[in-house]
Structure 1
Amino acid sequence: MVDARSDAAASFDPLRPKLMRVAYRMLGSVADAEDVLQEAFIRWMGADRSEVREPEAFLRRTVTRLCLDQLKSARRQRETYIGPWLPDPVVEEEEEEDITLPLMLALERLSPLERAAFLLHDVFGLGFEEVAATIGRDPAACRQLAARARTHIREARPRFQVDKQHGIALAEAFFAASRSGDMKTLGAMLATDVSVHADGGGKRSAAMGPVTGFEAVMKLHESLAALFRKNGSTLVRAGLINGLPGFITLEADGELQTTALEIEDGKITAIYVVRNPDKLRHLH
């Protein structure tokens, strides 16, 4: 059994990062993606590996199919989720992958099959023959699924590429102004149609819906700044969070928090805050 496990791990482990990217983008949850990879490994141990010509293709199919099953129950859970739902924050995503947080939110509006076809073809670069073999539909149907997905999410594609260092510098300036209550500096960073989306999952305080518009967002940060001055908020690190400039903080309740900023034309257009401790465990 030990030999079988180590033999399976020798071929599985080098593929783990790629498989994790597929699973996380399908599910938006680090914990669920890790569960899927664990199940895929168990199936890989039980497979006749001498008959598998392309382990990567075999495992990608296994992971994708497990994710499709998982998405059915995830959709039911999302319907009862308290407040706005945001994907688990992943820090230091590779910029060139072009999977930003707004795009992941747009993926949520797709059917599971549309999501799989789009990710496998448009993001991971697989041909439609391989997509078809993976999700159990013919290539023509997969083309239609991917085309429908593209139509739905076209608006979520970033129209303005933000230089990483410039974006992180803006995130650090936003942290400093929002925590100190420097409202003049903060206001100069915000777009007129800025919005705040906070995911507390019913476990930590957060607005029950998006806060939209310059005045409303400024008012919110004015009240938050008073709390930060009284209770403290410590910068842990700045970096890319789900492809967007942002930062991790340690808050007064001893829990972590992530803030990601969508930026267009040098102004912050959306602020995404994850406070649900279940979504932050992997960052510890």
Structure 2
Amino acid sequence: MTDSSSWVPEGVNTALPSAARVYDYLLGGGHNFSGDRALAEKLVTVVPARDMARLNRAFLRRAVLHLVDAGITQFLDLGSGIPTVGNVHEIAHSADPDIRVVYVDYEPVAVAHSELMLADEPNATILQADMRDPEKILNSPRVRDLLDLDRPLGLLMVGVVQFIPDADDPWALAASYRDAMAPGSYLALSAFTWDNAPAGMAGAVEVFKNSQDPIFPRARAEIMRMFDGFDLVEPGLVYTPQWRPERPEDVGDNAERSNLYAGVARKP
């Protein structure tokens, strides 16, 4: 797709790569620009970024279906990104078309394309907001109109907390959302880690310094803290392909290569 496409929202700096558009490219999407593609190609020289994106997307699918099986009928997807095949409402609606989904992202291209995709979808919507502002998000009329926060909720923070620096306290942020959720709600989260390939991830940090979304990978213990106040479901916090794989071969011989930890947990 060319950088002069008519779908570019006004004011978007197409020269500055964004994580949402890089992820879209790595997943084979078409809503990205030359700068995003160039950054993605640099990224694959230091980490197996295409595998990481694919395995993270597969985790999202399994997590959503697990929550649907657990009785969750509404989802809040923070940092939802650009709508490519396999979005949350598509996964959930394959099981129950009455499930309600609110997507949240601050990236203009992600929001613009979500609005187009969801124009005729009464049970899903997109809110343009920064996930670091839970009060704004949770009190938004768009959220309140579609979600009932007095009932169990599926909160999705899949592949996004690595964009939140320590200075913005992602642990307190997760706690803020947790405290606003009804008992019986779930959190599904995945995040970049240093643990498997510290040198490669350090290279990824350098690559993302040339984007609007620097990354902050974390050790397993730091990611585990984001589940404080929740009860992790089996198999706990593991690499993405290890979380309830549908087939043994889906895990492969080197699950650590995914470089993201993933977990799902219930609020008691």
Q: TM-score when scaled to structure 2? A: 0.26
Q: Which has the larger radius of gyration?
A: 1
TM-score (norm 1): 0.25
Structure with greater proportional helix content: 1
